[in-house]
């Protein structure tokens, strides 16, 4: 019973996702510009928290607003995954599945799916963290939390870093979708040109 319990459910799927998707791409996730920018923003928020949050809204309002954004972004990512898996053009799907991207794990199609899944995963985690933060500190004013010592300032800095990372990751996902759309448009133009050439050849009179 215990063995069957451990072999099914969210834990099994989660560990499989970590092992097969995240660990092979760990360097792609950590050593990126968005990670560096997010850490920089978090450090800046830590040192300047007394000034940044001096006239800020309530923590509950800030957190609820972020949860609303993250929920919308999460739904967008899930919709993007569905679209990527149900593209009607089989030739285009095969092209993505056989296209290798330099310094990236797997093919272009796998990378596209991972971008959407990773962004959705990041936003889901940020929602969970935000709800816990709201439960523990939502009743405290931002200025009061800053005055309570170093640990609350670390929490505020970490929150700013997570929020920045989710925003940057969502931007990357949107731009990735634009890149795939551009490739698909190029393919449609190429197919239309080839069809026009075939139609023109078909209209040519046959040699006597």
Q: Is residue 193 part of a domain?
A: no
pLDDT score for 128: 92
pLDDT > 60? residue 2? no
- pLDDT of 149 reads 66
Position 103 scores a pLDDT of 66
Closest CA to 62 of 77, 76, 49: 49
Residue 109 in 3-state DSSP? helix
> Is residue 82 in some structural domain?
yes
192 is a domain residue = no
CA distance 208 to 32: 65
In a domain, 176, yes or no: yes
* 53 band by pLDDT with thresholds 50, 70 and 90: low
Could you tell me if residue 17 is inside a domain?
A: no
Q: Which long-range contacts (CB under 8 A, 24 or more apart) does 125-132 make?
A: 126/66, 126/70, 126/162, 126/163, 126/166, 127/67, 127/70, 127/71, 127/74, 129/159, 129/162, 130/63, 130/66, 130/67, 130/70, 130/159, 131/67
pLDDT in tens, 61-86: 778 889 999 999 999 888 888 877 77
Proportion of the chain above pLDDT 70, given as a percent: 80
Whether 207 has a pLDDT exceeding 60, the answer reads no
Calculate ∠ Cα 117-118-120, nearest 5°: 65
Residue 64 resides in a domain: yes
The pLDDT tens digits for 161-196 are 999 999 999 999 999 888 888 888 888 888 788 777
- CA 180 from chain centre, in angstroms, equals 15
* pLDDT score of 88 more than 80: no
CB-based contact 35:165 (threshold 8 Å): yes
Give the per-residue pLDDT at 45. Answer: 82
* Domain around 60: 32-181
pLDDT tens, residue by residue, 110-160 = 888 888 999 999 999 999 988 888 887 766 666 666 666 677 778 788 888
Residue 204: enclosing H or E segment and its boundaries? none
Q: What is the pLDDT of residue 39?
A: 94
- Determine the Cα–Cα distance for residues 140 and 100; give it in Å rounded to an integer: 50
Answer whether residue 84 is part of any domain. yes
Residue 147: the pLDDT is 61
Nearest to 21 by CA among 125, 95, 100, 116: 116
Cβ(93)–Cβ(136) below 8 Å: no
Number of domains in the chain: 1
């Amino acid at each position: 019973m215990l063995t069957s319990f451990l072999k099914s459910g969210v834990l099994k799927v989660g560990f499989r996702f970590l092992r097969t998707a995240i660990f092979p791409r760990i360097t792609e996730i950590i050593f990126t510009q968005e990670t560096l920018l997010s850490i920089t923003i978090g450090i800046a928020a830590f040192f300047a928290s007394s000034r940044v949050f001096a006239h800020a809204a309530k923590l509950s309002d800030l957190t609820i607003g972020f949860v609303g954004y993250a929920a919308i972004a999460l739904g967008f990512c899930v919709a993007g995954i569905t679209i990527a898996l149900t593209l009607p053009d089989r030739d285009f799907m095969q092209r993505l599945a056989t296209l290798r991207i330099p310094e990236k794990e797997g093919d272009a199609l796998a990378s596209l799916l991972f971008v959407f899944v990773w962004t959705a995963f990041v936003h889901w985690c940020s929602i969970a963290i935000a709800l816990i933060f709201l439960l523990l500190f939502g009743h405290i004013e931002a200025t009061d939390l800053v005055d309570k010592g170093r640990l609350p300032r670390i929490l505020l800095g970490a929150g700013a870093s997570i929020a920045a990372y989710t925003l940057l990751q969502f931007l990357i996902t949107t731009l990735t979708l634009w890149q795939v759309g551009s490739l698909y448009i190029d393919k449609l133009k190429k197919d239309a040109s080839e069809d026009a050439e075939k139609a023109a050849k078909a209209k040519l009179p046959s040699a006597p």
